[in-house]
């Protein structure tokens, strides 16, 4: 959209900002702050235009600049609002889509062009100016989804499997090589694809506006503006609406842990550390070269609170996944001695960040019943997904980084050595129910030199494909919700890069089609069988059958449901067929084979049990019955009693 070139009134006019709005902002409790600060359509005494409001308490002057005044500071000066630190004004004649910035004369007299922290839309990179935009130009069609989510409450017992997507590299527009799919094209292509594979949710890597493609959105420049790379805010609403109408939830990556230092951004906004701490030992991240939010300041907390609520309220998202929570919790995160300041108790915990996260989770869950808050937290911090009233942080789910690291490390080993490392598979069950876990196989594990998922697997081509199927089967069988990064579902060979689309040509080959069919079958089994998901977060939903057969590299366990149904899983982590392998059970009769990752449907060799086996009534290892089964090579099989 082209910006307007017409001239406007030669000065700003005063505009009223309500006393209650100012009071709530000062208290850090204005949940709709984005409707007060920023730029909003306004019908004033001189006709239609836009009103502006920005928080810059230490500024000497603030004005609005754009094409309408040749980007000249001082032409349209804003007015200070009664000792609140807010500057406001109204410009008649400004049109929807016009570009603008704030010219902020800081505490020490320097004037810097700053983007609007509450901008609802921004120009396409490399430009960083905000666009005058609106909030209420879309009619939703997902009322049934939203009502059901609200009525059901937290999805702790749901069958959740998440497909993680980087919108800029999932698939490209073939009409113009190298161009992104738009939000609406993703609605037409991505949504049916995800639905066909049976995933319940899509998690998008950050979609808030960011200037650098290579940051993948994790260095956010405009917290309230969906990126213009893929279309307008209304187009993003259309995509989310399409997901909901197809029965798919939407999770959005959110980054309240840090923000970039670019001069036009939030940093040193009024010449001082406004959104960040002044002291670099508290206000900067050495790893990422970014600023850290000052979580102890009411106005900063309110900025982040209202931003989180904004995505839920205005875009109907179903969950926020918070990136790098560990970096928020610890004052000494990735810092050496002398590079951090202890808290008021002398410890390394960031008390302000802890309070912020707890309050945020309480507010989100109160306002949006059924919505999820998800923590990527890589340490052993206790109670991340436990309620605030019990001393927890209040998240709905936590990524299980320990499971991911141990399991991937195990699978990289040649099967001949796996018997020495079986504890890497079994150890996760010691803590599997300490949190409400999501098992993540995310973008972080298939980039930056780590190689693709299938590329980590040992052996020849057949063994690599079999190991991939075995890994995914083990992941789906293990307690916890599931998350899989795009491309892993069909065994992409090359490492993921944001500069290229996925290797879709691979999906034309039978072995890769088989991997996709496996994911489709796992998702269907996961949804259809309560034993696979209802007690994901409780010991009563899991029971070891045998975890001690190190010599054979075989483990067996039960997944159980409250209705008494159960599924027996057996995993053979070697390429050797195990004939007449004995497994204990306590239910007599016929056990039907309901899943086999070695099926020809999935590209396997079809070694199996001819539909099932009969339980034998001889006591075995403390079990009253046993099954004599054939274990296919590098495969997982599942049985349920009839």
Per-residue pLDDT tens over the stretch 241-253: 999 999 999 999 9
pTM value is 0.96
Predicted local confidence at residue 15, as pLDDT? 93
What's the confidence (pLDDT) of residue 122?
97
Q: Is 292 left (phi over 0), alpha (psi -120 to 50) or beta?
A: beta
pLDDT at residue number 620: 82
Alpha-carbon span 476 to 332, nearest angstrom: 36
Mean pLDDT of 552-563: 97
pLDDT at 176: 67
Mean pLDDT confidence for 145-157: 96
pLDDT of 4 strictly over 60: no
pLDDT band, very low/low/confident/very high, at 1 (cuts 50, 70, 90): very low
**Tens digit of each residue's pLDDT (9 = 90 or more) over 245-283:** 999 999 999 999 999 999 999 999 999 999 999 999 999
Task: Give the pLDDT band (50/70/90) at residue 188.
Answer: very high
pLDDT at 527 over 90: yes
Average pLDDT on 575-600 reads 97
Domains of the chain: 19-131 (2.60.40.10), 177-399 (3.20.20.80), 402-642 (2.60.40.1180)
**Phi and psi of 166, rounded to 5°?**
-100, 110
Q: Which residues are catalytic?
A: 323, 376
Is residue 615 within 8 A of residue 591, CB to CB? The reply is: yes
Give the Cα separation of 483 and 374 in Å (integer).
Answer: 12
> For position 365, what pLDDT does the model report?
97
Percent pLDDT > 70 in the chain is 98
Task: Please provide the DSSP assignment of 570-609 as one string.
Answer: EEE-SSS-EEEEEEEES--SEEEEEEETTSGGGTS---S-
Of the candidates 75, 68, 131, the residue with the CA atom closest to the CA atom of residue 103: 75
Whether the CB-CB separation of 6 and 94 falls below 8 Å is answered with: no
Q: Half-sphere exposure of residue 603, counting CA atoms within 13 Å on the CB side?
A: 25
* pLDDT recorded at residue 614: 98
The sheet carrying 612-614 orders its strands as 542-546, 554-560, 566-572, 635-641, 590-596, 612-614
Is the confidence at residue 547, as pLDDT, over 60?
yes
Asked if residue 433 lies in contact with residue 537, where contact means CB atoms within 8 angstroms, the answer is yes
Tens digits of residue pLDDT in 464-480: 999 999 999 999 999 99
Confidence tier at 2 by pLDDT (50, 70, 90): very low
Q: What is the pLDDT of residue 82?
A: 86
Please give the pLDDT value at position 26.
94
Per the CB < 8 A criterion, the answer to whether 571 and 470 are in contact is: yes
């Amino acid at each position: 959209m082209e910006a307007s070139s017409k001239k406007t009134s030669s000065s700003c006019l005063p505009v009223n900002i309500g006393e209650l709005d100012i009071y709530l902002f000062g208290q850090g409790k204005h949940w709709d702050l984005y409707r007060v600060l920023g730029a909003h359509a306004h019908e004033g005494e001189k006709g239609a235009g836009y009103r502006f409001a920005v928080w810059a308490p230490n500024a000497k002057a603030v004005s609005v600049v754009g094409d309408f005044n040749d980007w000249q500071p001082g032409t349209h000066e804003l007015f200070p609002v009664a000792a609140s630190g807010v500057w406001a004004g109204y410009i008649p004649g400004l049109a929807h889509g016009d570009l603008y910035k704030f010219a902020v004369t800081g505490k020490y007299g320097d004037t810097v062009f700053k983007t609007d922290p509450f901008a609802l839309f921004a120009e396409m990179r490399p430009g960083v100016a905000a666009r005058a935009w609106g909030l209420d130009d879309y009619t939703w069609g997902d009322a049934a989804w939203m009502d059901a989510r609200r009525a059901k409450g937290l999805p702790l017992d749901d069958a959740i499997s998440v497909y993680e997507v980087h919108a800029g590299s999932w698939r490209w527009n073939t009409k113009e090589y190298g161009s992104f799919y738009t939000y609406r094209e993703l609605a037409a292509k991505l949504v049916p694809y995800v639905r066909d594979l049976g995933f319940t949710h899509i998690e998008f890597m950050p979609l808030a506006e960011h200037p650098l493609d290579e940051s993948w959105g994790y260095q956010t420049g405009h917290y309230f503006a969906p990126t213009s790379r893929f279309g307008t805010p209304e187009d993003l609403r259309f995509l989310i609406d399409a997901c909901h109408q197809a029965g798919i939830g939407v999770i959005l990556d959110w980054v309240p842990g840090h923000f970039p230092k670019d001069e036009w951004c939030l940093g040193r906004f009024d010449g001082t550390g406004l959104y960040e701490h002044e002291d670099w030992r508290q206000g900067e991240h050495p790893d990422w070269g970014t600023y850290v939010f000052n979580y102890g300041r009411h106005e900063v907390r309110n900025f982040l609170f209202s931003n989180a609520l904004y995505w839920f309220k205005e875009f109907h998202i179903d969950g926020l996944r918070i990136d790098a929570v560990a970096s928020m919790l610890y004052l000494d995160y990735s810092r050496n001695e002398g590079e951090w300041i202890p808290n008021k108790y002398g410890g390394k915990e960031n008390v302000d960040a802890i309070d912020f996260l707890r309050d945020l989770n309480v507010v989100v869950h109160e306002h949006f019943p059924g919505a999820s808050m998800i923590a990527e937290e890589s340490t052993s911090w206790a109670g991340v997904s436990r309620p605030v009233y019990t001393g927890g942080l209040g998240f709905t789910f936590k990524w299980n980084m320990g499971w991911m690291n141990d399991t991937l490390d195990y699978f990289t080993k040649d099967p001949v050595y796996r018997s020495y490392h079986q504890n890497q598979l079994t150890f996760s069950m010691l803590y599997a129910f300490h949190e409400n876990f999501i098992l993540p196989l995310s973008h972080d594990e298939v980039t930056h030199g780590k190689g693709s998922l299938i590329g980590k697997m040992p052996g020849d081509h057949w063994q690599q494909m079999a190991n991939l199927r075995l890994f995914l089967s083990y992941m789906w069988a293990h307690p916890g919700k599931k998350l899989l990064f795009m491309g892993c579902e069909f065994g992409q060979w090359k490492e993921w890069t944001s500069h290229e689309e996925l290797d879709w040509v691979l999906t034309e080959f039978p072995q890769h089609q088989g991997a996709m069919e496996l994911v489709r079958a796992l998702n269907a089994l996961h949804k259809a069988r309560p034993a696979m998901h209802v007690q994901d977060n409780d010991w009563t939903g899991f029971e070891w059958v045998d975890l001690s057969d190190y010599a054979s590299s075989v483990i067996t366990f039960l997944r159980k449901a409250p209705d008494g149904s159960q599924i027996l899983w057996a995993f053979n982590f070697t390429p050797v067929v195990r004939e007449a392998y004995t497994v204990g059970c306590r239910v007599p009769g016929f056990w039907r084979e309901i899943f086999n990752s070695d099926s020809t449907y999935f590209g396997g060799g079809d070694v199996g049990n001819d539909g099932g086996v009969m339980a034998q009534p001889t006591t075995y290892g403390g079990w009253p019955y046993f099954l004599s089964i054939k274990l296919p090579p590098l495969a997982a099989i599942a049985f349920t009693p009839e």
